[in-house]
Chain A
Amino acid sequence: MEESRPRLWRLAHSWCRNRSLADDLVQDALTKALKSHSQLRDEDSLHAWLCGILAHCWHDHLRSHRDMDDVAEIDEYHLVAAGTPEADCLQSEVVRSVRQAVAALPVGQREVVTLVDLEEFSYAEVAAVLEIPIGTVMSRLSRARNTLKESLREHNACGVTTPRIARVK
């Protein structure tokens, strides 16, 4: 389980954008995992199982700190990123932009895109980790990537060359 700690921390940090909270979430998840290790049926899926526990811890944290009874609401729920200015100054502009864009996604979309792109889970694995249908995984991923592409267009070397529709507010 300790081998998974750095990956769990990266995932938790990409969700909450707060180092000490990421520490707490990972510790909480590993503690719960140790207590319920007997429930793990397949050792090969250990990391996915741990990610599922981490997601539960994260959702519990959101519930306890916000007026949000239904976790399904997190798809539309935005959490303000809490990065430290000192650390942010040290990051390159691109890295900062990408992290900000990911952090600005609704929580449900942020979870899916990080599980697919950071953890390289299959859609079925993401569905199992978050306990949502695969169709929801795909739709959240699609919305997340469309938003990210729009936000990060200037950094995207493979940008679509077709004309863009001007956004009118």
Chain B
Amino acid sequence: MNREISDELLNAFADNELDGTEKAELLERIAADAGLRAKVCETWHLKELVRSAHPLPGKNRGAKRKPRFRDRFGLPLAACLLLAIGGGSGWLAHDEYDELWIPAPQLKTIQAQGNRVILHLVSGDAAEIEKALRQAEQLATVRDKAGGIVQVELVANGNGIRMLQAGNAQLAARLATMRQQHDNLRLVACNEAMDRLRERGVDVTLLPNVDVVPSAIEEIATRLNQGWRYLQV
């Protein structure tokens, strides 16, 4: 693929619109070109800015809802259910969890077609971090079609680095527990993104057991070449 990479194509990549082959080819081009990497990164960050500037209205404006499953029973019970169900063929009848977990059909494909997944977080938004953590745990818990564990790499760049920064005790404890429970889960931070945050005067100190790679996009490209599946949070 030697053609000029248009803004439309870069947008399609950033929006996860491309299929496997096209995405892999474009990733290689992007990984080798600092200018393209910066453009993609800028687009991811812009998406996050737009999203975080338009939060959902509060409960007083939205319709009255029954208490969420999570509100009533909390995350620990959900986590136990998750562990108990593990690699079963049917997934949880999640109800309102559906937006946070990986959809059942996609999970089945992952289980059927591979056992290595790279999960990519760009946003520093609390809800997106929550989604990333749940999906990483979900993937680290399931079994592939042969009953083997799934290798999971959760890679963060852009403001997603916030998830891996020291300073948030609750998040640190949760990530430490996840790492203890799942040897198959690797946490990865993008050095380019950390440098950009430092340029803005942000103190970037990572949690222990977080690996740093030179560039998240290079890491994703490498993993795709190695046959990993790519999921964007």
Task: Give per-residue flags for B52-79: 1 if the beta carbon is below 8 A from chain A beta carbons, else 0.
Answer: 1111110001110100000000000000
Cβ-defined contact, B196 with A99, below 8 A: no
Cβ-defined contact, B54 with A99, below 8 A: yes
If A6-B57, A116-B15, A142-B8 touch, does A158 touch B196 (CB 8 Å cutoff)? Answer: yes
Task: Give per-residue flags for A11-41: 1 if the beta carbon is below 8 A from chain B beta carbons, else 0.
Answer: 0011000000000000000000000000000
Closest approach, in angstroms, between the C-beta of B121 and any C-beta of chain A?
Answer: 14
Cβ-defined contact, B8 with A158, below 8 A: no
Cβ-defined contact, B35 with A2, below 8 A: no
The 4 A-B residue pairs with the shortest CB-CB distance, nearest first, are A98-B53, A6-B62, A158-B41, A158-B45
Query: Which chain B residue has the least Cβ–Cβ distance from A117?
Result: B50
**18 extra interface residue pairs, beta carbon distance < 8 Å, beyond A149-B42, A158-B44:** A3-B63, A5-B62, A6-B57, A10-B56, A94-B53, A98-B49, A98-B52, A98-B53, A116-B15, A145-B11, A145-B46, A148-B46, A152-B49, A156-B49, A157-B159, A158-B193, A159-B38, A162-B35
If A10-B55, A138-B8 touch, does A158 touch B42 (CB 8 Å cutoff)? Answer: yes
Separation of A123 and B19 alpha carbons in the complex (Å): 13
Categorize the interface residue count of chain A: 35 or more
Task: Give per-residue flags for B9-25: 1 if the beta carbon is below 8 A from chain A beta carbons, else 0.
Answer: 00110010100000000
Separation of A139 and B15 alpha carbons in the complex (Å): 14
Confirm or deny: A118 has a beta carbon within 8 angstroms of a beta carbon on chain B: yes
Cβ-defined contact, B38 with A158, below 8 A: yes
Closest approach, in angstroms, between the C-beta of B12 and any C-beta of chain A?
Answer: 7
Closest approach, in angstroms, between the C-beta of A14 and any C-beta of chain B?
Answer: 5
Query: Which chain B residue has the least Cβ–Cβ distance from A122?
Result: B17
